[in-house]
């Protein structure tokens, strides 16, 4: 069903809200800026920027940080920045092997967290754990800060009951997640708004909002965790697709692995999730006699120069290179961002090898995209979840200009922060 408002023009209220968010984005990217600099960056008149600055200041979203004299005539310019205490968000990252709940401020700085390294339990048990953790983190905020709470973000893999054989996980528990609406249940349990995305999109949104997206508007994001996830950023927004699964690189078909540790495909075909994932690395290390109980063990094996890690990197790159070129043929983005649940130099080693492979496999008359290491590392999933209420409340997404239900003013109140909606 087509969403109401799509294809319609924007009214003055929608344009004003879009410009307010645009100014916040320009200020986030600049770090500090004067009113005149923001007017030029957002292509706004002095009258328009003045009204927006007053509103954002009244709402506590920005703050003055002193004066700067440019050497010319007139009064020194007042420098502005985002107020870290302007908004708060909680993120919940559910993975098949972990649960993490995190509180961040408007700058994206983690303030507190709760985490469990465990195979995901039954939905009702996980819900009780997360609801308790959310309440505990909210208690870290004083009453005034709670009035600036933007909401809960939930990031989890879609189709939790899928790919279990490839990830060596029990079928019984995970199939119970298929029909469990965790976002709706969490909203009911907490009484707070919940913004839900798949974990790949959430991590990509965090990179867009707080990381490399401060300088780049278009990129393909890849996150290597127990599985592999992805997200697509185009024109400063996350491309979701019709079901929210755009960027689901895990299901891209690839050739079977050459590693003896890899499970053999019945039909001679394989998926990227089986080769370019930490589950594949852990499986290969164990096959080579290296005990693996956590990502830290994999990182230690790389630091020790164990050849099994380099074998996995070569195998993962052999699968990633053609998959990326297929994505580039469709998306035509100039940048690939790669991040992972582990580091210690392993991600940079994979990126260096991948850059060579992309160049070697480049189609005629095509240049490979740049590849950069993401900025959030193992926090990408949790901060990605916590970024969702920030992103949907404060980012200048183009859809704001075509929504017909965007008539509410910016609201604040106990435990509610509607944002610049």
pLDDT in tens, 315-372: 999 999 999 999 999 999 999 999 999 999 999 999 999 999 999 989 888 899 999 9
Q: Model-level pTM? A: 0.88
d(CA 158, CA 177): 10
The 8-class DSSP code of residue 345 comes to T
Integer CA distances (angstroms), 330 to 224, 228, 324, 358, in order: 22, 20, 10, 16
Closest alpha carbon to 263 in 162, 160, 161, 167 = 167
Tens-place pLDDT, residues 163-176? 556 656 666 677 78
Closest alpha carbon to 90 in 415, 420, 421 = 415
Q: Judge residue 181's burial from the number of C-beta atoms within 10 Å of its C-beta, 0-12 exposed, 13-18 middle, 19 or more buried.
A: exposed
pLDDT recorded at residue 7: 40
Residues with Cβ < 8 Å from 165, sequence gap 6 or more?
A: 263
Tens-place pLDDT, residues 33-92? 999 999 999 999 999 999 999 999 999 999 999 887 665 566 788 999 999 999 999 999
Dihedral angle at the C-alpha atoms of 311, 314, 317, 322, nearest 10 degrees?
Answer: -120
Integer CA distances (angstroms), 23 to 37, 41, 57, 252, in order: 10, 8, 12, 38
Residue 410 zone, left/alpha/beta (φ > 0; ψ -120 to 50; rest): beta
Integer CA distances (angstroms), 315 to 69, 261, 266, 320, 324, in order: 56, 11, 19, 9, 15
d(CA 21, CA 39): 13
Q: Within its chain, how far is the Cα of 191 from the centroid? A: 24
């Amino acid at each position: 069903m087509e969403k109401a408002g799509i294809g319609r023009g924007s009214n003055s209220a929608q344009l004003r809200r879009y410009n307010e968010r645009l100014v916040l984005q320009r200020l986030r990217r600049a770090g500090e800026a004067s009113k005149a600099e923001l007017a030029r960056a957002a292509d706004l008149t002095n009258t328009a920027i003045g009204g927006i600055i007053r509103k954002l200041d009244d709402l506590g979203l920005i703050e003055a940080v002193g004066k700067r004299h440019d050497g010319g005539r007139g009064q020194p310019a007042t420098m502005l920045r985002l107020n870290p205490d302007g908004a708060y968000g909680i993120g919940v990252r559910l993975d098949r092997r972990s649960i993490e709940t995190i509180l961040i401020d408007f700058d994206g700085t983690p303030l507190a967290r709760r985490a469990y390294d465990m195979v995901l339990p039954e939905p009702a048990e996980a819900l009780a754990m997360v609801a308790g953790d959310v309440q505990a983190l909210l208690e870290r905020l004083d009453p005034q800060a709670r009035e600036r709470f933007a909401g809960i973000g939930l990031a989890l893999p879609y189709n939790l009951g899928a790919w279990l054989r490839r990830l060596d996980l029990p079928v019984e528990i995970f199939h119970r997640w298929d029909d469990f609406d965790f976002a709706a249940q969490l909203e009911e349990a907490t009484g707070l708004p919940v913004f839900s995305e798949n974990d790949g999109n959430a991590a990509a949104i965090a990179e867009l909002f707080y990381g490399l997206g401060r300088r780049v508007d278009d990129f393909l994001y890849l996150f290597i965790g127990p599985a592999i996830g992805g997200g697509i950023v185009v024109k400063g927004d996350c491309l979701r697709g019709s079901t929210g699964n755009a960027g689901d690189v895990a299901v891209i078909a690839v050739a079977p692995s050459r590693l003896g540790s890899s499970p053999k495909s019945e039909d001679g075909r394989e998926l990227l999730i089986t080769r370019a994932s930490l589950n594949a690395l852990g499986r290969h290390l164990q096959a080579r006699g290296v005990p693996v109980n956590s990502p830290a063990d994999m990182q230690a094996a790389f630091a020790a120069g164990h050849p099994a890690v380099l074998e996995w990197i070569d195998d993962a790159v052999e699968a990633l290179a053609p998959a990326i070129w297929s994505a580039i043929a469709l998306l035509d983005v100039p940048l690939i961002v790669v991040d992972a649940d582990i580091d210690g130099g392993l991600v940079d080693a994979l990126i260096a090898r991948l850059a060579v492979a992309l160049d070697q496999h480049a189609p005629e008359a095509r240049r490979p995209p740049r590849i950069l290491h993401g900025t959030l590392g193992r926090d990408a999933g949790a901060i990605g979840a916590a970024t969702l209420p920030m992103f949907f409340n404060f980012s200048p997404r183009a859809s704001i200009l075509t929504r017909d239900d965007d008539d509410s003013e910016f609201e604040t109140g106990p435990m509610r922060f509607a944002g610049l909606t």
